[in-house]
Chains A and B, each alone.
Chain A
């Protein structure tokens, strides 16, 4: 149990376009989901915390108008990269906390975004 999926697994888009990444908890309800960004050979940097039915909380330095997060249900959160630029190219990973679980986060397989 506790499986998190992401779609797509990889995407290539042109500069100036927007791309949406989905994060789904497949077999549990997730009140809270997290979005991370990982650059090559680097650690995960938390971008934002997404709570179902409310606005996401963004980390310092993350543009909320550029990285739109929607957590409309207990099993789905989406990250939309708007007006993408080549510097947005990265590996985006989501994680989910099972409702009532204090400690563990379950991670998705990640989405590789390449902006050309």
Chain B
């Protein structure tokens, strides 16, 4: 069975500092990995995905994520955080022809 874990409920970062939101996954085959962001009372917005190819994936709003097969991780990163990045972030995984599974979410708080 596939699963995804976000070990941190909340991440606090000062504006201008780099940020990392952690995600690990478990699948039996090749994973398809996604990051989404959710603002209050809104649906999910797609940030980036890893399907195949380069392990470093660049996405929207300056975010990037690195696929690490040996560590089964797909951490979300940004070199310089903005206050507007404060939101709820979800990592998700799916295998071909199966449903997408979401992590529990990490609340990112950027202080001015």
Contact = CB atoms under 8 A, between A and B. Distances in A.
Interface of A: 4, 6, 34, 41-44, 46, 49, 91, 93, 95, 102-110, 112
A94 to B, nearest CB: 8
Q: Is chain A's binding surface mostly helix, strand, loop or mixed?
A: strand
Contacts of A42: 104-105
Q: What 10 A-B pairs have minimum CB-CB distances, sorted nearest first?
A: A107-B43, A107-B44, A109-B43, A110-B43, A43-B102, A44-B102, A43-B104, A108-B43, A93-B43, A43-B105
Nearest to B45: A107
A93 B90 contact: no
Nearest to B94: A103
Contacts of A104: 46, 49
B105 to A, nearest CB: 5
Nearest to A106: B46
Contact of A43 (B43, B90, B99): B90
Contacts of B27: none
B95 to A, nearest CB: 11
Interface in B70-112: 90, 94, 96, 99-100, 102-105
A41 B36 CA distance: 15
A95 B45 CA distance: 11
B43 A105 contact: no
Contacts of A109: 42-43
A110 B105 contact: no
B51 interface: yes
Contact of A103 (B42, B43, B49, B102): B49
Given A43-B90, A44-B90, A103-B32, A110 B102 contact: no
A105 B100 contact: yes
A93 B96 CA distance: 22
Q: Residue among B41, B90, B103, B104 with the most chain A CB within 10 A?
A: B41
B99 A49 contact: yes
A44 B49 contact: no
Nearest to A112: B41
